[in-house]
Amino acid sequence: MLLDGIFNHTKIPLLSKSLKAAAVRQRVRANNIANANTPGYQRLEVSFEEELRRVLDNQNIAGVQTHEKHFPLGRREALDIDPEVYVPNDPADPSGVNNVDIEYEMAELAKNQLIYTAASKFAARNFQKIKAAIKGRT
């Protein structure tokens, strides 16, 4: 019960979701790069941040689900958002073999690495704060 209060009412669960999304995105980018010369391969993308922004936007209507079989109404909870892999509608064929652009994928890979590093450092700082609070330090 105490651990639930410490961890579930902090930024840590959301940071965990962000780290998971970055890990999924890293695998998807690596897969795209590995299949750059595969004829007919369709590159993949990951959606997470856009849906998270919509959920965190307070302009949405919130509803209450009174039965587990009812459709969810209104805004979703941030912790219900998971990264989703999809095939984008991208008719471009930069390589002549498929729609994978190596330069774009490498740039996105580097960008994702920066996001992952920042989120992991932020999570580490949150754990340090919890540790300091447990020890009674500021």
* Alpha helices, H only, 35-98: 49-56
Dist CA 39 CA 69 (whole Å): 44
With a cut of 80, say whether residue 36 has pLDDT above it.
Answer: yes
Q: What per-residue confidence (pLDDT) applies to 70?
A: 75
Dist CA 10 CA 5 (whole Å): 8
Dist CA 18 CA 8 (whole Å): 15
Q: DSSP character for 136?
A: T
Work out the mean pLDDT of the chain and round it to a whole number.
83
Dist CA 25 CA 4 (whole Å): 28
Q: Model-level pTM? A: 0.75
pLDDT tens digits, one per residue of 91-123: 766 556 788 889 999 999 999 999 999 999 999
Nearest to 82 by CA among 12, 2, 20, 132: 20
With a cut of 70, say whether residue 65 has pLDDT above it.
Answer: yes
Q: What count of other Cβ atoms lies within 10 Å of the Cβ of residue 43?
A: 21
Dist CA 71 CA 69 (whole Å): 7
